[in-house]
A and B are shown apart, each in its own frame.
Chain A
């Protein structure tokens, strides 16, 4: 059974810092992994999707990596801004299924 864990649960950093959010999963037979952002009281905004055959994906200041053998994905945010403050969720889809298993998220606060 796939389980997804995100560490840390909360993170507070000064503006301009580069930071890394961690996501680990127990079943390495994943089809893909998707990172989302969720603002308070809002739905999820898709950030990056990594297929199982890929090692990383980049979009602007965001870079997500995937290491299936170690059961880990990281989301790297460069030059953080106060507008990056939100909860970041990772979700893994196991091969042979169509549903995402989500972590509980990392609540990020970027201080101006």
Chain B
């Protein structure tokens, strides 16, 4: 079956611009996670959704970052007033429920110039 998909695969933007990153989880998966991975590092947790609600957003670095999952399926990570330090690969993962293994998408590589 289809895995987790993320669009776009690459995004180049200028400092100060607004970006949206999309994640399509595996069908039927209720839990959805966003992580951020910098070069040479392991992924860092950003936010976790159970259904439509953000159950844990403790990893969001500041209020420029926001994520939604309005219908409990697709999720969008939104970054306002992008900074060069936001450049990273943004990974999305989903699991059938919070206790199951997480399956990751291919990521979106964000470059802020």
Interface on A for B, CB 8 Å cutoff? 4, 31-32, 34, 36, 42-46, 49, 89, 91, 97-105
Chain A residues near B71 (CB-CB < 8 A): none
Chain A residues near B50 (CB-CB < 8 A): 98
| Contact A43 to B42, CB < 8 A, known contacts A34-B101, A34-B102, A99-B33 | no
The reply to whether A99 and B42 form a contact with Cβ atoms under 8 Å apart is no
* Cβ of B107 under 8 Å from chain A: yes
Determine the distance from Cα of A99 to Cα of B36 in the docked complex, in whole angstroms.
13
| Residue in contact with B107 in the complex, picked from A43, A97, A103, CB distance below 8 Å | A43
The reply to whether B101 and A99 form a contact with Cβ atoms under 8 Å apart is no
The reply to whether B42 and A46 form a contact with Cβ atoms under 8 Å apart is no
Chain B residues near A43 (CB-CB < 8 A): 4, 91, 104-107
Determine the distance from Cα of A97 to Cα of B91 in the docked complex, in whole angstroms.
19
Binary A-proximity of B30-65 (CB < 8 A = 1, otherwise 0): 010101000011111100101000011011000000
Select from chain A the residue with minimum beta-carbon distance to B104. Answer: A44
Given A46-B102, A98-B33, A99-B59, 13 further pairs, Cβ under 8 A: A34-B102, A44-B43, A46-B104, A49-B100, A91-B42, A91-B43, A97-B56, A99-B45, A100-B33, A100-B43, A100-B102, A104-B40, A104-B41
Which B residues, 59 to 76, have Cβ-Cβ distances below 8 Å to chain A? 59
Select from chain B the residue with minimum beta-carbon distance to A4. Answer: B42
Determine the distance from Cα of A36 to Cα of B102 in the docked complex, in whole angstroms.
10
The reply to whether A46 and B101 form a contact with Cβ atoms under 8 Å apart is yes
Chain A residues near B55 (CB-CB < 8 A): 98
The reply to whether A89 and B98 form a contact with Cβ atoms under 8 Å apart is no
Chain A residues near B59 (CB-CB < 8 A): 99
Determine the distance from Cα of A101 to Cα of B43 in the docked complex, in whole angstroms.
8
The reply to whether B42 and A104 form a contact with Cβ atoms under 8 Å apart is yes
Chain A residues near B105 (CB-CB < 8 A): 43
